[in-house]
Structure 1
């Protein structure tokens, strides 16, 4: 049942606005975020992004749409005709799944009211009269942020089924001019302000005040339901500070060029998700990579686990660790790790007393017969929602054939951001894109 909102929620709605935008909302940034979930005419299951900014919402929603399509049809023929009713169903499914991950009980749906703002069951911002006509328009060039927020309301639902019914009945509003913003406010309200503040660093707004892109906390919230600031596994102690990362394996993955640039460390929970779908991050934009090959997310072999754990202690990616970390690595791998045994292995693996242990030496000693869960070749597809970032201006999925080479060398290619980003997940990957055109990360 939809509940009447107490007046105290007016303060909460104001706080959500402050959390997202800060003290001042630039009109041009707000305008770029004021779009709906529009499907491409050229790729009927792909969403289009009309302006830079809201990719932190669009890319995760697109990733969940793809994930659900892969569950329905393993072959995933992207050119299959899709009706408008099916598009609505895909959009509803993705939006509701993201909101469900954020809910701690109740569900909130943001909407714009153009009727009587004094109704007792509704919450308004700033007390202004709502802007009557903007919702009926498919463009939002004249809708100022203050007028949008004056019209913003919340409905509250006691369970997921009620919320999903509401989204189904009102899906046209999410496809309308302010659909992304209405969904965003619904997510934050459902998550709860206090919970968001507990999970992330709220010293800066979730939407950058200068450039208009979403923060990593906002990206993480959309993908996992948790607004943590970091992308590593669990909680890390950095200089005495406990910094929160992911708690569990994510349904959807995340890999980023920023890891190569040493701005972050992406953990296994993001790199090895439940489904073969990854949000890709560049310095300024988010896109989506996916595959129909489920072996890309099959359980790790023992040797793959060993490489991953070893590299967790190899922060600089140099393929060696300091000798004093050997005991920690062995303990985490549930191998013999008592001090006497570790001292013997240190002398054997570091015979020249350099104070380091090489990855290859470690693997040869403990896992001489390496096995891989990942196939040597596989197909990948890439999505970029910005028309101008696609080769011919059309938003379509770009196909590629990937090959994993037998090498431990990381051959980063600064002139190929796509390859460099993928190398952070598959260190020996080479990929041939259809028509020899590498898709853009930006």
Structure 2
């Protein structure tokens, strides 16, 4: 049951500081002032008006696609009416809220604008609105800028509590404009943060003084992206935690529903772990230097359960937080135990001598894998169809936000060709090193 919303200025102020920092740049705030609305050319594809809010829009789009993939679909999966895409949107936002509610005893908090100001914000549903022309609340119609400034927006926010997901779903069905109106993306983001709990978010961030949204360009941080994708506001995309210069830096702690791939991984600026590369559904948010898009496929074998060798490699690396590809001999027993292999002391002694014949005190990853998991074969298909989504019309062929279809082939050769002129291919090679792609329109989709 909903609890009446209070202004709770301290909680709203904490959210504002975590998200924007001590100062909110009006220009950046305006770029985030958009609702969730679908492309007229692709009924289930969300449109993005300005740079910045892709940190929320792309994950929501990924969960929309996850819902589509969860159903039995035929050749008409792209033909969805308005009622159908409304259901997809509500299902997606509820999925994301569910992930963060697990950190708040299954409770939900929905952030809304005060009803007295909403009359000035309900000027569209399900169609494009300029991100620079936010509507004017009735009681400030005569203001100089003729738009809702960020300080007024924050002063008019109210927080409502709900005990169950069913109540949240019912709320969004009754008040869909909370998602589709001018501030829909921000209201949903604030709801995610409130539901998660601000203390929990701060505990997961490397530096709570670094805001989620860049104050100059409006880009979302990796912590914000991870919060939307996985429910955790950690700043890194590797599995578990790693020791970097004596600092324990936390990453993703379990397999996610949808995944993440990063263009910058090929430059070793980051390391995306197996939990994000191999999510439960074949849907990945793709990160370039400045934008987020989404890749997906109906080929479920692309995200098959981890093979024993993949599990072993991940467990071994959890004992190698610095990424040296070796562990001390003393950790071998625990690695074997976690993998449900023989870990009796006598056997461990024998294997230690075999894997470390020169008595260097370390066991190499390759030696370990060759001994316990030699030449394991996978059931990965050689060819499959991929689809790509980019929510910015200016980045799409003919200015139309539609899914771009491509035919993927996994080559047998071991030589990887990195083409700096093809960021899409370079990004996908971080998961499939030997992939080749032929896009149906002969145009490689843009990651930016």
Alignment of 1:114-153 (within 5 A): 114-115=115-116, 133-136=120-123, 139=130, 140-141=133-134, 142-153=147-158
Report how far residue 77 of structure 1 moved: 3.7
Task: Indicate whether 1:172 and 2:177 are aligned.
Answer: yes
Please name the residue that 1:112 is paired with: 113
Q: Which moved more, 1:13-22 or 1:295-304?
A: 295-304
Say yes or no: does 1:382 pair with 2:380: no
Question: SS in structure 2 opposite 1:187?
Answer: helix
The corresponding residue for 1:425 is: 431
| 1:75–1:292 CA contact under 8 A, matched in 2 | no
Distance 1:368 1:170, change over 3 A: same
Q: What TM-score results when the alignment is normalised by the length of structure 1?
A: 0.86
Q: Does the residue aligned with 1:382 lie in a helix, a strand or coil?
A: strand
Distance 1:433 1:325 in 2: 49
- Equivalent position of 1:286 in the other structure: 292
Task: For 1:24-423, list aligned pairs within 5 A.
Answer: 24-75=23-74, 77-80=76-79, 82-103=80-101, 104=104, 105-115=106-116, 133-136=120-123, 139=130, 140-141=133-134, 142-201=147-206, 202-305=208-311, 321=325, 331=336, 338-347=348-357, 359=366, 366-423=372-429
Task: Decide whether the 8 Å contact of 1:378 with 1:402 is kept in 2.
Answer: yes
CA distance in 1, matches of 2:46, 2:159: 26
Give 1:436 deviation, angstroms: 2.0
Q: Tell me the distance in 1 between the aligned counterparts of 2:118 and 2:74.
A: 47
Q: Secondary structure at 2:408's aligned position in 1?
A: strand
| C-alpha distance in structure 2 between counterparts of 1:278 and 1:323, whole Å | 31
Q: Which residue of 2 aligns with 1:2?
A: 2
After TM superposition, the structure 1 stretch with the greater mean CA deviation from structure 2, 156-165 or 273-282, is 156-165
Q: For residue 90 of structure 1, report the CA deviation from its aligned partner.
A: 0.8
Distance 1:370 1:169 in 2: 52
User: Are the equivalent residues in 2 in contact too, given 1:131–1:148 (CA < 8 A)?
Assistant: no
Measured in 1, the distance between the counterparts of 2:4 and 2:192 equals: 19
Match of 1:16 in 2: 15
Distance 1:33 1:13 in 2: 17
- CA distance in structure 1 between the aligned counterparts of 2:256 and 2:268, rounded to whole angstroms: 22
Q: Supply the distance in 1 between the matched residues of 2:186 and 2:47 (Cα, whole angstroms).
A: 15
Contact 2:204/2:232 (<8 A) preserved: yes
Q: Is the 8 A contact 1:69 1:76 kept in 2?
A: no
Once the 2 structures are TM-superposed, how far is the Cα of residue 302 of structure 1 from its aligned partner?
3.2
Paired with 1:325 and 1:383, the residues of 2 have a C-alpha distance of 47
| Residue 39 of structure 1, CA deviation | 0.3
Going from structure 1 to structure 2, the CA distance change for 1:400 and 1:311 (only over 3 Å counts) comes to farther
Give the unaligned 5+ runs of structure 2.
135-146
8 Å CA contact 2:264–2:270 kept in 1: the answer is: yes
Q: Given the two structures, how large is their TM-score scaled by the length of structure 2? A: 0.85
User: 1:121 maps to which residue?
Assistant: none
Query: Which secondary structure state, in structure 2, belongs to the residue aligned with residue 258 of structure 1?
Result: helix
Structure 1 residues 88 and 257, CA, compared in 2 at 3 Å: closer, same or farther? same
Q: Any idea what the Cα deviations from partners look like across 1:97-134, whole Å, max 9, x if unmatched?
A: 1111111132111221252xxxxxxxxxxxxxx69634
Number of aligned residue pairs: give it: 419
- Measured after TM superposition, the shift of residue 6 of structure 1 is 5.8
Distance 1:311 1:408 in 2: 23
Q: Distance in 1 between matches of 2:363 and 2:199?
A: 45
CA distance in structure 2 between the partners assigned to 1:426 and 1:258 by the alignment: 15
CA–CA distance in structure 2, aligned partners of residues 133 and 323 of structure 1: 61
- What SS does structure 1 have at the residue aligned with 2:111? strand
Q: 1:346 to 1:325 in 2, by over 3 A?
A: same
Q: Distance in 2 between matches of 1:432 and 1:313?
A: 40
SS of 1:69 mapped into structure 2: helix
> Counterpart of 2:399 in 1: which secondary structure?
coil
How large is the Cα RMSD of the aligned pairs?
2.9
